[in-house]
Amino acid sequence: MSRLLYVCARPQEGAAAAEYESFRTAADLDPADLDRIDLVRERLPRDAFDRWGGFVVGGSPFNVTDPESTKTEAQRSLETDLERIAREAADQRTHALFTCYGIGVVTRLLGGEVTRAFPEDTGPVVIELTADGERDPILGALATRFSALTAHKEGAGAPPPGAVLLATNDGCPVQAYRVGDHLYATQFHPEPTAQAFTERMAVYRDDGYFDSGDFDAIAARVRAASLSEPHRILHGFAQRVRSH
């Protein structure tokens, strides 16, 4: 059975620990089957692709579109390591699922454009599968329309060259895509429960994702949303990696 690696890109250690648990639970993995690494504080090992059969990349308050002059050394080094993972997966040498901030890293690496033109508010949105998404080995198991959670300041208007668009909506046209059959990326968060997401909101309530005075109203919308479908992406991805 191939072990997976959760890749942390969050400076906030408490939020990262909770995100790991969300990924593990949604993918239905035992702790022994999902290792973790914190790329904010350490580098990806040279032998990473020998040690792990697949990678799940979490979100981050970082943005790909941050001016290079404002990026910390930690952000620059983790983007370099995330690009290593994305390149290996795009070349079909490992499996990877990038989420939220990570989709921007992959899009830029593949020659696509990431801009501030497609932000989405914090909370639930409706995602629609494309025709290719309905035929996809992982996303094809989902309902054609489902609710998912977003909170991001950047996005893409079109998938990068070589990618197959799997999911979209009006607010941000690129919600999920696949490159080959080893690399997946989602703009929305597939992993959190409503409770986990509201706890994450509390960590980032002053980071410009939403008006802090709206916290209770947004949290109520999150708790009212049906969020079972996005979890099936992680479960399907983990099953796919383990079957290889």
Query: Is residue 141 assigned to a domain?
Result: yes
Round to whole Å and give the CA distance between 225 and 21.
Answer: 20
Which pLDDT score is estimated for 1?
46
pLDDT tens, 218-241? 999 999 999 999 999 999 999 999
**CA-wise closest residue to 78 among 8, 147, 178:** 8
Q: How many CA atoms lie within 13 A of 160 on its CB side?
A: 23
Given a contact cutoff of 8 angstroms between Cβ atoms, the answer to whether 129 and 220 are in contact is no
Q: Is residue 104 part of a domain?
A: yes
Is residue 221 domain-resident?
A: no
Identify the band that residue 32 occupies on the pLDDT scale cut at 50, 70 and 90: very high
Sequence letter at residue 65: T
- CATH classification of the domain holding 143: 3.40.50.880
Is residue 50 a part of any domain in this protein? Answer: yes
Q: What six digits make up the tokens of 151? A: 């909170």
In a domain, 239, yes or no: yes
User: 182 lies in a domain?
Assistant: yes
- pTM beyond 0.85: yes
Number of domains present in the structure of the chain = 1
- What distance lies between CA 168 and its chain's CA centroid? 15
pLDDT tens, position by position, 110-123: 999 999 999 999 99
In a domain, 58, yes or no: yes
Percent of the chain surpassing pLDDT 90? 98
Domain assignment present for 67:
yes
Residue 119: give the domain boundaries: 4-192+228-243
pLDDT at 134: 98
Nearest to 57 by CA among 72, 44, 71: 44
Residue 190 has pLDDT above 90, yes or no: yes
